[in-house]
Amino acid sequence: MLAIRAARLFDGTRTTKNPIVYVESGTVVGVAHGASPADTEVLDLGDATLLPGLVDAHTHLVFDASDDAVGRLRSVSDDDLLAGARVAAGRALRAGITTVRDLGDRGYVARRLRAELDRSPESGPLVLSAGPPLTSPRGHCWWLGGEVSGEAAIRAAVADHAAHGVDVIKVLATGGEITLGTKPYLPQFTPAELAAAADEAHRHGLPVAAHAHSAGAIAAAVDAGFDTIEHGSFLTEDGAAADDAVIAKLAASRSVVSATLGYLPGRPVAPRTAAISATLTAIFTRQRAAGVRMIVTSDAGIDPSKPHDVLPYAAEMFLLFGDGPEAALRAVTADAAAACGVGATKGRVAAGYDADLLVVTGDPTTDITALREVQAVFRSGVRVR
C-alpha cells in the first residue's frame, strides 16, 4: 500500500490540511488526517497540495498545436496522427491532466489511443473519445469525416459511432474559425436534427456535446437536451453579444457550458478572439452570475497558443468571471469529470476513486497559478512524474 502525505488536500470539493492518502491497486482506499500509523511508510511531499488529476473535457489530440495544425492533419496518415496523439497525451499527463476528452479526431484515432493506454495507464491519461464530429456537408471540420445531413442519417451516424466504442457524441451545431467557408455564428443543423442527435446518443447511453457559438444554436442545443455546450460564446457576425433569454434558458437547464479557455503566454492568439476578449469575459461573467453551470476546458491542439498542457492557464482565466480559486479547481476536477460522465471514478480524492493524483508546490486554493508548479503526478497509483 502507498501512503502519501502533503500539507494540504483539495479533494475535488473542499480543502483540508495534513492529509494522508492511501492507495492500493490503483485506487484510493482511504483518506486520513493527522499522524500516520507507526508501521506505515509514508511518502511525505512537504509543503505541497495534493489534488485530483485534472480533467480536460475538450481537447484535440490529433491536432499538433502548430501554426498549421489543420494542414498537417490533412496531409498525414491515421498512423501518423496516432503517433502525434501519443506525444500530445504524454504532454498532458506530465502537466497533471490525467483524463482528457477528445472532441474530434479522424478515423477514430483517439479510440485507438485509448485502447493502448488502457493496457498501460501510466503511459498517458484516460482518453474519452468522440470520433469524427458530426457536421453538415462541407461544414466545420468536414475533413475529419463526419459529414451528415437529415434526421435519419444523423441517427445512423450516432449508432455507428456507438458501435465504434466512442465515449461521447460531438455535434458541430455552428461553423468554426478553422474551416474555410463556415461561420461560427451560423447554424449547421436544424433544431429537429439536433434533437435527433441528442436522442439517439442518449438511447445508446452516451453523453452528447454541441459545438455552439451563436445564441440561436446554444438555445437549440439546450432544447434538444445536449449535456454540454462547447464554447458557449454568443458570437455574432460582427463580434459577440450576450442574450439574457438564452442565458436564463441555460441556467434553468441541465446543460453545462464547457468554456474553452487558456492561452500560453507569449504566443499569438487568433485575431478575432483577441479583438473581442473583453466582451467574451463579460458574457461568461453574466452566465456565471445567472447560475449557468460551467466547466473549464482548453480546446488544446488547434494552434500554438493552445498546447496540450495549457489547462492550468484556462483555470486562471476562469477567475476573471467572478469565481474564486476553489471554484476553478472544481471546474477542472470534480465538475469536469461529472460532465464527462466519469464522476464516479475521476475528479475526486476519496475512497473508491481512481488514484489519478496531482501534487503541486504551494497552495492553488489561494493562488491558482500553483497549478503550474507540478511536483508529482500519479496515474492509477503509479508515479509518472
Q: What confidence score (pLDDT) does residue 38 get? A: 67
The domain ranges of the chain are 2-52+347-383, 54-339
First-residue to last-residue Cα distance in the chain: 19
Q: Provide the mean pLDDT of the chain.
A: 97
Q: What confidence score (pLDDT) does residue 93 get? A: 98
Q: Is the pTM of this model over 0.85?
A: yes
Residue with cell 445567472: 290
- 68 closest CA partner among 148, 144, 178, 143: 178
User: Which amino acid would we find at residue 217?
Assistant: A
- 213 closest CA partner among 280, 263, 167: 280
CATH of domain 54-339: 3.20.20.140
Q: What confidence score (pLDDT) does residue 270 get? A: 77
The span from the CA of 165 to the CA of 115, in Å, is 10
Chain segment 86-144, per-residue pLDDT in tens? 999 999 999 999 999 999 999 999 999 999 999 999 999 999 999 999 999 999 999 99
Residue 275's pLDDT band, with cuts at 50, 70 and 90, is confident
67 burial level (CB within 10 Å; 0-12, 13-18, 19+):
exposed
Residue 277 cell numbers, joined? 476578449
Chain segment 34-67, per-residue pLDDT in tens? 777 767 789 999 999 999 999 999 999 999 999 9
Chain segment 75-89, per-residue pLDDT in tens? 999 999 999 999 999
**pLDDT reading at 271 higher than 90:** no
Domains 2-52+347-383 and 54-339 share a fold: no
Q: What is the average pLDDT across 159-168?
A: 98
Residue 49 cell numbers, joined? 497540495
Q: What is the average pLDDT across 168-196?
A: 97
Who wins on pLDDT, 267 or 202?
Answer: 202
DSSP string of 37-76, one letter each residue = PTT--EEE--SEEEEEPEEEEEE-TTS--STTHHHHHHHS
- 103 closest CA partner among 7, 180, 205, 210: 210
Q: What confidence score (pLDDT) does residue 305 get? A: 96
- 290 closest CA partner among 234, 238, 348, 360: 234
Q: What is the average pLDDT across 184-207?
A: 98
Q: Which CATH architecture group holds 2-52+347-383? A: Roll (2.30)
Number of neighbouring beta carbons within 10 Å of residue 321: 21
